[in-house]
Amino acid sequence: MFLFYASSIFANDKKLDKETTIFDETFSWQVMAGITVHKSSTILKDIEQDSVENFLDLSLLIDLYYRGFFIQSNHRRASSLTLGVEFGYQLMVNDEWELDIINKSYLSGYAPRYLWANDEDIPPLFQGLADRDSADGIGIRYSRYYDNAELSIDLATLPPRSASGGWIANLYYTHLVPYRNWDIYYGAELTYFSHQVLDYYIGIDSDEALAIRPEYQATSGFKTQLEVFAQHPISKKWIFNTGLSTSYYSASFQDSPVVGQSNETQLMVGIIYVF
Amino acid sequence: MYFRLGKGFAWLISIFCFLVYSHGVLAQQQETNKDIKVQTNTKIQFSATPTNCVALRQGRKCFAKVALSWQVTKPGDFCIQQDKKIIQCWKNSRGSQVFFEFESEQRMTYQLVASHHKKIIAETAIDVSWVHKATPRKRRWRIF
């Protein structure tokens, strides 16, 4: 229902379709709905995809711009499923670079009661573990645009948006290679997490400690990600997309009792309907 | 595991399938209409397959493998041309087909020409459309 509701709202504003600077009063939008099949792994122990819903994802992708304020979905990234939308405001803009205030999720949260369908299925390692909310940060983003590439640097603080303390620095580079009707994006990302952030997400407090889950105080750490993502038009309204991303997490992640591996891989195939 | 998804998931799947199906039917109807348009002359048939090439963005070159087919009732010498540039000619033929790589950012029109009097006897076209409109900005990552 929300999908239809959202599309009808935005359709009313369809004529307001362009903007060029932050001082314009025009309104721009793009709404897309996507269905994706994905095979994903996670660094957390004891978590497997074991039912159809785990492999399928339905998403409503919204891009919106009004007077410098924007909402943008990550529909050109393989990991768009977990990243969600970004909210922001453009402080300075020109053709070559841009400075924004940005609000986005840098790390997915997790909660045992949502990770397993029934409470009795929760493995002993995760029983009694407090929920970890997603790492929503607010910060500054500098983006540099090249002919077929983009480089962006984020510096974000998690308080007051998140339950966690600390800060995050993110460096992201993406390069577009057009081939026939395909758009192929190659991307690389490096994210630094301060010790407060990691301690909240993968640290084990004294009141959570068990024999199989000893107390753990995390230090700062980083994550690297490489990805390739491709889009191909099916018709004027439909796009096929596929992507592969692989991430590596540093030692401070790996040393946590709830973390089982240092790599995450996600393979996705999907279609997007453009309203 | 992973995440608990309620019955809402099934509803969303149903809605999505309906959208896919309804769009497919509509697209098929539009395609059929186009075929009729280029084949109104019953004595001469000249058509392109596909009749539309879709690019991701406006202004971007669209690529497709296309076939131009023609058929006439009386054998003769014919050529297919595009912008007065000959693509292929046939002698004493009643019909044939030519395959080639279409590569253009705009609609292309093709003519079937009777070689002897160099008269255009039929015309067909391949349209170029796109998913996203062109943006005024140089960058490509955001829609705007």
CA distance B61 to chain A (A): 8
- pLDDT-wise least confident of A33-37, A236-240, B17-21, B74-78: B17-21
* Residue B62 pLDDT level (bands cut at 50, 70, 90): very high
* pLDDT(A154) > 90: yes
| Amino acid (one-letter) located at A112 | P
Three-state DSSP class for residue B7? coil
Residue B142's pLDDT is: 46
CA distance A194 to chain B (A): 27
A151 vs B contacts (CB less than 8 Å): none
Share of chain A above pLDDT 90, in %: 55
- Best mutation target among A7, A25, A53, A185 (most B Cβ atoms within 10 Å) is A53
Q: Is A249 exposed, middle or buried (0-12, 13-18, 19+ CB in 10 A)?
A: buried
Q: Do B16 and A236 touch (CB under 8 A)?
A: no
Q: Which residue has the higher pLDDT, A87 or B38?
A: A87
* Mean pLDDT score, A222-232: 95
- Spatial CA neighbour of A138 closest among A96, A177, A168: A168
Residue B136's pLDDT is: 54
* Residue B105 pLDDT level (bands cut at 50, 70, 90): very high
Q: Which residue is closest to A237 within chain B, CA to CA? A: B131
B140 vs A contacts (CB less than 8 Å): 148, 176
Q: Is A191 exposed, middle or buried (0-12, 13-18, 19+ CB in 10 A)?
A: buried
CA distance A219 to chain B (A): 27
Residue A179's pLDDT is: 95
Closest Cβ opposite residue A58 in set B16, B23, B140: B16
Between CA A132 and CA A127 the distance in angstroms is 14
- pLDDT-wise least confident of A116-125, A256-265, B9-18, B109-118: B9-18
Closest Cβ opposite residue B141 in set A18, A50, A150: A150
Q: Do A49 and B2 touch (CB under 8 A)?
A: yes
- Tens-digit pLDDT profile for residues A116-131: 878 888 898 998 898 9
Cα torsion for A203, A208, A209, A210, to the nearest 10°?
-130
* pLDDT(A90) > 80: yes
- Tens-digit pLDDT profile for residues A164-211: 889 999 999 999 999 999 999 999 999 999 999 999 999 999 999 999
The pTM assigned to this predicted structure is: 0.78
A235 vs B contacts (CB less than 8 Å): 23, 27, 54
Q: Which residue has the higher pLDDT, A134 or A16?
A: A134
| Amino acid (one-letter) located at A47 | I
Residue A213's pLDDT is: 93
* pLDDT(B40) > 90: no
Judge contact between A244 and A39, C-beta under 8 A. Answer: no
The sign of the dihedral angle between the CA atoms of A112, A115, A120, A124 is negative
Highest mean pLDDT among A54-68, A105-119, A135-149, B20-34: A135-149
Name the strand (E) or helix (H) holding A141: strand A136-145
Cα angle A153, A29, A26 (rounded to 5 degrees) comes to 95
Q: Dihedrals φ, ψ of A68, to 5°?
A: 90, -20
Beta bridge partners of A151: A144, A173
Report CA Rg, chain A. 20
